[in-house]
Amino acid sequence: MAPDPAAAAPLISAVQVSRTFTVRGASGRRKLQAVDGVSLAVGRAETVAVVGESGSGKSTLGRMFLDLLAPTAGRIEFEGVDISRMTRAQWRRYRREVQVVFQDTGSSLNPRRSIGSSVSLPLLHNLGMRPAAARRRAGELLDMVGLRSETFLDRSPLQLSGGQRQRVAIARAMASNPSFVVADEAVSALDVSVRSQVLRVMRDLQRDQGVSFLFITHDLGVVRAVADRVVVMYLGQVVESGSADAVLDSPAHPYTKALLAAAPRPDPTVRAQQRSRLTGEIPSPIAPPPGCRFHTRCPLAQPICREQVPPVVRFDDGLASACHFAGDVRSGVLAMPAAATGIGTTGEAG
């Protein structure tokens, strides 16, 4: 069958988006480049994970996808249309189709409203449903995220655990039948077992409703469970991207390797192994290092890394890596030292 061009077109994409903030410091007003020329596309029923340390620009990127923040350069396109140039009707549709779940959004639930009433609100106001129909739909949404409606519709948010509140937040986000949900550290505050329940809810929603996720997290440990593709950010830029298998199992960027080495591993067979973890502060985005931005912490840095911005190296399997030595790192010709400048080691006893 001939490939369907519409099926291949992304649902939503960032096209060379940048965002600067003006910040006041001791030396006056300065520009901080939080996101710098990022391009990223999300297909239908796809989960793209955006990973990187705190301060790498992930939330700023997510807020631009949500139109909570305008890009200073570049654009966000929903179904091929620049969201800043939409007609009123197009924008209203985009607002319904694009939703968000933040970290512990559940705590923003009004304690004086029942769960059912909180989930019904967008149905009443945004979809114009009648109260009885909205309550029925709210019940279905709660069942969908694994909270039995008979039990939970009339409960107060004060009676819920953190994981249950986060599932209510997901139900509320799903109320308008979105095609795209930004989940910004949505499971980061949850403990491990609750976290995997919530991740399962998200996977089921994707399978049953065809929703796409932009899954933002600083924790690489959860990415394998959800992501089809992974985008790694460092100081506002994408340093590596590709399929989840390529990025997590055979990355070519030293930053991704260091992040993976530092991530907690559930696999007991690697427990005895030495782990290297990233040390040193992430530099300030007010004055990013020249050349490769990661060179100040990279154990493999050479003189060229300080001087020249690395080209993006594209591998046959789709992995794209912005490193001067990507080919040699991926093939293993250049190995990451366990203990080296910028990377410290901890011998894990188990």
**Under the rule (CB under 5 A), what is the footprint of Mg ion?**
59
The answer to whether residue 254 forms part of the interface with ligand ADP (CB under 6 A) is no
Number of residues that make up the chain: 350
Residue of the chain from 5, 7, 26, 54 that contacts ligand ADP (CB under 6 A): 54
Whose Cβ is closer to ligand ADP: residue 72's or residue 90's?
72
Amino acid symbol at 193: S
- Taking residue 108's Cβ as centre, other Cβ atoms within 10 Å add up to 12
3-state secondary structure of 96: helix
From 57-65, 159-167, 187-195, 255-263, span contacting ligand ADP (CB under 6 A): 57-65
When CB distances are held under 5 to 8 angstroms depending on the partner's kind, the choice from Mg ion, ligand ADP, none that residue 87 binds is none
Whose Cβ is closer to ligand ADP: residue 20's or residue 166's?
20
Whose Cβ is closer to ligand ADP: residue 55's or residue 139's?
55
From 53-61, 204-212, 260-268, 333-341, span contacting ligand ADP (CB under 6 A): 53-61
Minimum separation from the CB atom of position 3 to Mg ion (A): 36
Site string for ligand ADP, 13-42 (x = CB under 6 A): --------x-x--------x-x--------
Q: How far is it, in rounded angstroms, from Cα 39 to Cα 144? A: 33
Could you give the count of Cα atoms lying within 13 Å of 325 in the half-sphere of its Cβ? 20
Whose Cβ is closer to ligand ADP: residue 149's or residue 256's?
256
Buried b (16+ CB within 10 A) or exposed e, 293-313: bbbbbbbbbeeebeeeebeeb
Amino acid symbol at 5: P
The answer to whether residue 52 forms part of the interface with ligand ADP (CB under 6 A) is yes
Query: Which residue, among 321, 296, 293, 320, has the nearest Cα to 309 in the 3D structure?
Result: 293
Tell me whether strands 212-217 and 47-51 are parallel, antiparallel or unpaired: parallel
Site for ligand ADP in 60-89 (CB under 6 A): 60
Q: How many helices (H) and strands (E) are present in the chain, helices listed first? A: 13, 14
Locate 238 and state its tokens. 């994408």
When CB distances are held under 5 to 8 angstroms depending on the partner's kind, the choice from Mg ion, ligand ADP, none that residue 285 binds is ligand ADP
Would you tell me which residues interact with ligand ADP (CB under 6 A)? 21, 23, 32, 34, 52, 54-60, 285
